[in-house]
Amino acid sequence: MAILIKCNGNHLIPGNQQTFRLPIQDGIATTQGLEAFVWVNERSRARPWGNGLTMRGTVASSSTVGRTATVTIRINQRLAVGFGMNALGDLPSEAARDLYRNIQPRRHCKIWGLSPGERDVLDEVFRI
């Protein structure tokens, strides 16, 4: 399993470690070593705006209280140019369309669980 962290640009700090305190999708466990993708909202109310999918890494630590999780990610790969929502919506796979339908209409930041197919779609973006 892998997770997708959808956040705003103002959540990010310089460096190879990022900590997020965000609502979490019901039934998702964030455990150490879990693969994590970071999607920075392209049109959030908060500035700076992001470029979509921008980085990935592994969960270094996490804790959950109620429906909010604090997750620290050790970043191990960054995209030189982000991969935006329009590009995701244009991908031909069913998994890409499912992911697009899940995250596109939601402006709010959240931690999502990814299906194996959705994870593979995001992984492929980093291989291009």
Which of residues 59 and 128 earns the better pLDDT score? 59
Question: What sign does the CA torsion over 54, 103, 89, 128 have?
Answer: positive
For the segment 81-95, what is each residue's pLDDT rounded down to a tens digit? 889 888 998 999 999
In sequence order, the β-bridge partners of residue 29 are none
* pLDDT classification of 10: cutoffs 50, 70, 90: confident
pLDDT (tens digit, 9 = 90+) per residue, 34-45? 999 999 887 666
Instruction: Report the C-alpha gap between 5 and 48 in whole angstroms.
Output: 17
pLDDT tens-place string over residues 58-82:
999 999 998 899 999 999 999 988 8
Q: Where are the beta strands (DSSP E) in the chain?
A: 2-7, 17-23, 35-40, 52-65, 68-83, 110-114
CA distance 53 to 39: 4
Domain coordinates of the chain in residue numbers? 2-127
Question: What would you report as the CA-atom Rg of the chain, rounded to the nearest whole angstrom?
Answer: 13
Q: φ, ψ for residue 4 (rounded to 5)?
A: -120, 125
Q: How far apart are CA 28 and CA 21, in angstroms?
A: 15
- Which parts of the chain fold into alpha helices (H)? 85-90, 94-103, 116-127
Q: What is the pTM of this model?
A: 0.91
